[in-house]
């Protein structure tokens, strides 16, 4: 480390040698600076007022110089002071530039490297099954209908031909919102028990032809068990046009079941009753798991009940200003949760809603 020498010879040649040694030491020490803390030590060593190298040069050279040589020594000291200040400043700039370069290098992105992919979840098995059903009807030209999950009594019951004394209007079957007693019955709010209100809302806004498929959540006041849940999913469909017959209904649903379960599946229609369709039918399919030989899924019968369907009751057209003499239509609806349970071999639909990642990961 450089130490300021005492001068005995103040000739120009001796001063030049002393200055050269000092500048060489300054350059050498400046090259060893690597960070901000080392630069501060370098600055203080050379420029500190009490014991810096410049202060020592001033004391050892200028103050000790004989009178005739003071002017020459003072000139050299001033030049040294300027050189040291310049070197200290340039050293700081170099450190700042190196730090910035390191930061830029650290943040630089190599676009040729493979990206880091964030793991995404898979579709829930119920949603996946619902999307598969919807895609079948979309391929047949149906559009998707949506509507509110909180409905009025009018759209959920009255406009769908449910009379005022129908059991479904009882709070033991339907989840009504609290504080609705002061309202007229048709305006009382409830959690929709089926997606059928979307059929009425669509027909109110759209003149025939209408072809919609309606997926969504519905709610009923059921105690949860292996086959029941107070919240579940449905897919319903509606087609209204001129000259639509029961044959169109059978052909549409037969094609849909074959698309979902395979071309070898057979369909069977069994008479039933629904308030908003007449005639009505339950649709059954031949068991795709055992080929009608009898198994646990079909309860040894060879057939599985899949959905309800029927021709739209002409009384409904009066609620939407359709002329029943000119148009006809059919509707159908199926429960997605039980279909998904059958498809994936799940014996308790509550597993779908408990959020157990270990269970859901099986379907990813």
The mean pLDDT of 91-120, rounded to a whole number, is: 74
Is the pLDDT higher at 173 or at 313? 313
- What string of DSSP letters covers 2-45? --PPPPS--SHHHHHHHHHHHHHHHHHHHHT--SHHHHHHHHHH
**In the predicted structure, residue 101 carries a pLDDT above the cut 70:** no
Domain 125-363: which CATH number of 3.30.930.10, 3.40.630.30, 3.20.20.80, 3.30.479.10: 3.30.930.10
The mean pLDDT of 294-308, rounded to a whole number, is: 87
For the chain, the first-to-last Cα distance in angstroms comes to 69
**How is the chain split into domains, by residue range?**
12-107, 125-363
Which pLDDT band, with edges at 50, 70 and 90, does 250 fall under? very high
Is the pLDDT higher at 170 or at 185? 185
Which pLDDT band, with edges at 50, 70 and 90, does 252 fall under? very high
Collapsed DSSP state (helix, strand, coil) of residue 280: strand
Dist CA 313 CA 329 (whole Å): 9
Contact by Cβ (8 Å): 310, 320: no
Beta bridge partners, 203, equal none
Is the pLDDT higher at 7 or at 127? 127
**In the predicted structure, residue 152 carries a pLDDT above the cut 80:** yes
Which pLDDT band, with edges at 50, 70 and 90, does 103 fall under? low
Which pLDDT belongs to residue 220? 92
**How do beta strands 328-335 and 231-241 pair?**
antiparallel
**Could you report the per-residue pLDDT of 202-222, keeping only the tens digit for each?**
999 999 999 999 999 999 988
Dist CA 348 CA 342 (whole Å): 10
**In the predicted structure, residue 18 carries a pLDDT above the cut 80:** yes
Dist CA 253 CA 307 (whole Å): 10
Dist CA 93 CA 96 (whole Å): 5
Dist CA 280 CA 246 (whole Å): 10
Dist CA 102 CA 104 (whole Å): 5
**Could you report the per-residue pLDDT of 268-293, keeping only the tens digit for each?**
999 999 988 999 999 999 988 888 88
Q: Which two tokens stand for residue 243?
A: 């000259």
Which pLDDT belongs to residue 106? 63
**In the predicted structure, residue 52 carries a pLDDT above the cut 90:** no
The mean pLDDT of 52-66, rounded to a whole number, is: 83
> Residues of the chain with pLDDT > 70: what percent?
98
The mean pLDDT of 64-77, rounded to a whole number, is: 83
> Residues of the chain with pLDDT > 90: what percent?
44
Dist CA 44 CA 46 (whole Å): 6
The mean pLDDT of 105-132, rounded to a whole number, is: 81
**In the predicted structure, residue 248 carries a pLDDT above the cut 70:** yes
**In the predicted structure, residue 105 carries a pLDDT above the cut 70:** no
Which pLDDT band, with edges at 50, 70 and 90, does 267 fall under? very high
Is the pLDDT higher at 231 or at 63? 231
Dist CA 2 CA 80 (whole Å): 15
What is the dihedral sign for C-alpha 194, 195, 196, 197?
positive
Which residue, 129, 153, 52, 179, is CA-closest to 338?
A: 129
């Amino acid at each position: 480390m450089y130490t300021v020498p005492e001068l005995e010879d103040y000739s120009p040649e001796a001063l030049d040698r002393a200055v050269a040694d000092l500048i060489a030491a300054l350059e050498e020490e400046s090259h060893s600076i690597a960070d901000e803390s080392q630069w501060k030590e370098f600055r203080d060593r050379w420029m500190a007022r009490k014991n810096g190298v410049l202060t020592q040069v001033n004391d050892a050279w200028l103050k000790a110089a004989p009178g005739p040589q003071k002017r020459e020594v003072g000139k050299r000291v001033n030049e040294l002071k300027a050189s040291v200040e310049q070197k200290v400043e340039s050293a700081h700039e170099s450190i700042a530039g190196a730090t910035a370069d390191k930061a830029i290098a650290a943040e630089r992105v190599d676009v040729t490297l493979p990206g880091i992919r964030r793991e995404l979840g898979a579709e829930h098995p119920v949603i996946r099954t619902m999307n598969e059903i919807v895609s079948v009807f979309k391929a047949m030209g149906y559009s998707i209908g949506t509507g509110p999950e909180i409905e009025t009594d009018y759209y959920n019951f009255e406009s769908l031909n449910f009379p005022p004394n129908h059991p479904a209007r009882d709070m033991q079957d339907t989840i009504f919102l609290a504080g609705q007693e002061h309202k007229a019955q048709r305006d009382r709010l409830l959690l929709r028990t089926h997606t059928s209100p979307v059929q009425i809302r669509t027909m109110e806004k759209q003149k025939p032809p209408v072809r919609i498929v309606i997926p969504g959540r519905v709610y009923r006041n059921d105690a949860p068990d292996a086959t029941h849940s107070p919240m579940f999913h449905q897919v319903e469909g509606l087609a209204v046009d001129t000259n639509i017959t029961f044959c169109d209904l059978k052909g549409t649903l037969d094609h849909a079941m074959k698309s979902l379960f395979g071309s070898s599946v057979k369909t069977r229609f069994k008479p039933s009753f629904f308030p908003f369709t007449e005639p009505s039918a339950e649709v059954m399919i031949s068991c795709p798991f055992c080929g009608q030989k009898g198994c646990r899924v079909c309860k040894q019968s060879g057939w599985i009940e899949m959905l309800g369907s029927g021709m739209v009751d002409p009384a409904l057209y009066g609620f939407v200003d359709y002329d029943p003499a000119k148009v006809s239509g059919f509707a159908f609806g199926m429960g997605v949760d039980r279909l998904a349970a059958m498809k994936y071999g799940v014996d308790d639909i509550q597993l779908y809603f408990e959020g157990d990642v270990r269970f859901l990961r099986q379907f990813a």
